[in-house]
Amino acid sequence: MEKHNAWKKFTWEPRIAYFSMEIGLSAEIPTYSGGLGILAGDTIKSAADLELPMVAVTLIHRKGYFRQQIDRDGWQREFPVEWNPERHLELLSVKTLVPIEGRDVKIQPWLYRVKSPAGGVIPVLFLDTDIPGNAEEDRHVTDYLYGGDLEYRLKQEIVLGIGGARMLNALNFNIRKYHMNEGHAAMLTLELLSNTRGRIDDPSEERAAWDLHRVMEQCVFTTHTPVEAGHDKFPWDMVERILPDIVPFSLLKQLTGNDAFNLTLLALNLSNFVNGVAKKHGEISKSLFPGFKIHAITNGIHSFTWTSPFFVQVYNKYLPGWANEPEMLVRVDNIPDEDIWEAHQGAKAFLFMYIEETTGQRFDPDLLTIGFARRSATYKRADLIFSDLERLLAIGDGKLQLVFAGKSHPKDLPGKEMIHRIHEKIAVLKDRIRIVYLENYNMDVAYRLIPGVDLWLNTPVRPLEASGTSGMKAAINGVPNFSVLDGWWIEGHIEGVTGWSIGPPPMEKSTSSNGDNHEDAQDLYRKLENTILPLYTGNRAGWIRVMKNAIGKNAYYFNTHVMMRRYVTEAYIR
């Protein structure tokens, strides 16, 4: 009975259902690979703080993404992440069914409660097909995040979308909006559509028998991918073999195109509100998908989660209440310079301890330390700073230190070669510029790495960084950004005030890349040599000014509290 009442807390009021293939809540629950998943986790944490009525749906990913080791020769090695769902999550006794490839596949949910110190609780459901009675291959569908082949991905997306919508129904949730975090979850629209069958009387035309508008009213879609090739597509023969025909394939072809089953098009066609994840990315998405109205809501980070303990203490002292109202960081000038500097030195020492423990290298707390960590995809250009080693040495010999980290997707060979190339440069520069590559970049590593460096470097090929969020994690810890003008940084950058740009300004309306490697590298070296190093070494007060501006002009705004208020007013309640 008590259990029943506890559940009613979740089901008595209509909720927003947030669907994401990956959710990163903590390093112990390894069901995320990078920015998309951590954004989802941060979104849910802010929703809990703000007591928004939400419920989140994802997959259990029993074998996680992967654990990264780097071998002696600088090549990435991958190992499954062993984690025990029972230790973190509660198995619920409800089950639901989805037909896949003609077989009924049972799904069970694991519950995690995201609890805010402010009182809010958001249930997160992790869907799992590893149930006795399911065919052996179906039991593995929810094992690997972004593992397996295209068929495996299609099956996972059926479980997430159709299975997730059915699961919410089986658990008695009353859902007022469905929010798809990227196209992976788009198949939830099929379940909604199939529930509208017969609502419209005129069966003469197939499309008319299904209430598309009823589904659109319920759906919000956030697209994250700025390139055509990045969007999920499946060949129709595969789809017709695997996907249950809860909606006629002929109608699906009208909605997503005859060439392939394109989940982005499905979500676009069946959502009343669609957005990109930064202003620039909204523009890019409009030109990728002409004819659709696409808004922009810039991503954020959950402020408390990403603030190092050293800065938490300072903020608590001078700006009490900041964690649930990050806008207060606008008053950062109330914090004395010495407190800012001391907190940063604490975070730096905390990182350097970790570096020494994991690599045996001893870093110098007095040197300008640059950080670069993110998924190792080639467009992120982790090696741009190594374009001209002579130049880098001339600028940085004895004055600079670098910390890298990042995993490459196991099938991304160019990404792995990038990791290898960086290790070659580390060896070449040894004894002149100290550089480490920390293994297994995850939320724990990020939490130590980002606040502990002095400058956060980001060098993506424009316009491929849809938003980027690690730079926001830097800002809230008083670490200025030094970044190509792309994604969120176009909105956060004030030259010499909040940090520094690399390369030319973004081109208006352009979707194509501007600026080349050479031009960007030259600008990087020029600013590092003439502006950044002299400020860091010669003008402590000037440097702290920039640190404070990162907090007061970037971190106060680029967070998931602000972002969620925008989703509520612009997407959820309209």
Ligand X SMILES: *Cc1c(COP(=O)(O)O)cnc(C)c1O
Binding map of ligand X across residues 358-377, x = CB under 6 A, - = no contact: ----------------x---
Q: Say whether residue 469 binds ligand X (CB under 6 A).
A: yes
Tell me which of 17, 21, 25, 38 binds ligand X, using CB under 6 A. 38
**CB environment 215-241: b (16+ within 10 A), e (fewer):** beebbbbbbbbbeeeebbbbebeebee
At position 531, the amino acid (one-letter code) is T
Tell me which of 64, 123, 164, 468 binds ligand X, using CB under 6 A. 468
* Residues 199-228 close enough to bind ligand X by CB under 6 A: none
| Residue span binding ligand X (CB under 6 A) among the ranges 69-77, 356-364, 393-401, 469-477 | 469-477
**Rounded CA separation 165/57 (Å):** 9
Q: How far is the CB of 405 from ligand X (least distance, A)?
A: 8
* Residues 399-458 close enough to bind ligand X by CB under 6 A: 441-443, 446
Q: How far is the CB of 375 from ligand X (least distance, A)?
A: 6
Q: What residues have CB less than 8 Å from 486, skipping those under 6 apart?
A: 280, 460, 462, 463, 464, 465, 468, 506
* Residues 535-564 close enough to bind ligand X by CB under 6 A: none
CB of 146 closer than 8 Å to CB of 66: no
Q: For residues 231 and 473, which CB has a smaller minimum distance to ligand X in the complex?
A: 473
Q: Say whether residue 35 binds ligand X (CB under 6 A).
A: yes
Q: How far is the CB of 191 from ligand X (least distance, A)?
A: 31
CB of 145 closer than 8 Å to CB of 32: yes
Q: How far is the CB of 5 from ligand X (least distance, A)?
A: 37
Q: For residues 139 and 375, which CB has a smaller minimum distance to ligand X in the complex?
A: 375
Among 54, 51, 52, 50, smallest CA distance to 20 is for 54
Q: For residues 256 and 442, which CB has a smaller minimum distance to ligand X in the complex?
A: 442
Among 464, 465, 479, 492, smallest CA distance to 559 is for 492
Query: φ and ψ at 488, to 5 degrees?
Result: -65, -30
Q: Could you tell me the two tokens for 568?
A: 């509520």
Residue that is written with structure tokens 């602000």 in the block: 562
Q: Say whether residue 470 binds ligand X (CB under 6 A).
A: yes
Q: For residues 108 and 308, which CB has a smaller minimum distance to ligand X in the complex?
A: 308
Q: How far is the CB of 31 from ligand X (least distance, A)?
A: 13
Q: How far is the CB of 483 from ligand X (least distance, A)?
A: 9
| Residue span binding ligand X (CB under 6 A) among the ranges 151-159, 232-240, 275-283, 468-476 | 468-476
**Rounded CA separation 43/56 (Å):** 10
Q: How far is the CB of 443 from ligand X (least distance, A)?
A: 5
**Rounded CA separation 264/278 (Å):** 18
| Residue span binding ligand X (CB under 6 A) among the ranges 33-41, 139-147, 183-191, 247-255 | 33-41
Q: What residues have CB less than 8 Å from 252, skipping those under 6 apart?
A: 190, 239, 261, 266
Q: For residues 45 and 374, which CB has a smaller minimum distance to ligand X in the complex?
A: 374
Distances (CA, A) of 348 to 46, 285, 366, 398, 524: 27, 39, 10, 18, 23
Site residues (vs ligand X, CB under 6 A): 34-35, 38, 374, 441-443, 446, 468-470, 473
